[in-house]
């Protein structure tokens, strides 16, 4: 089961300009669960942390990773 956590700001739109949203896959981590960002045309990788999911999304879509997310990802891992 999946649920939407939040709609991301316009700065986080995909390359084609579609609005992005942060989603949660409610399955356990061993079964592919976690957080990911998606839009109508693409989807990012599933990650354990919100910041990692948004950073991954930014890289996939050729956007700079927000500085707040870079610092959080470095702390995690």
pLDDT digits (tens, 9 = 90+) for 51-69: 999 999 999 999 887 666 5
Number of structural domains found in the chain: 1
Phi/psi at 16 (5° precision): -90, 0
3-state helix, strand and coil shares in percent for the chain, rounded to the nearest 5: 35, 25, 40
26: containing domain: 2-76
Residue 25 Ramachandran class (φ > 0 left, ψ -120 to 50 alpha, else beta): beta
CB of 65 closer than 8 Å to CB of 52: no
Question: Can you give the pLDDT at residue 77?
Answer: 52
pTM of the model: 0.80
């Amino acid at each position: 089961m999946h649920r939407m956590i939040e709609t991301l700001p316009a700065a986080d739109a995909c390359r084609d300009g579609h609005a992005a949203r942060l989603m949660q896959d409610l399955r356990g981590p061993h079964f592919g669960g976690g957080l990911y960002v998606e839009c109508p045309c693409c989807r990012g990788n599933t990650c354990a942390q919100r910041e990692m999911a948004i950073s991954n999304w930014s890289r996939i879509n050729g956007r700079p990773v927000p500085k707040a997310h870079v610092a959080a990802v470095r702390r995690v891992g």
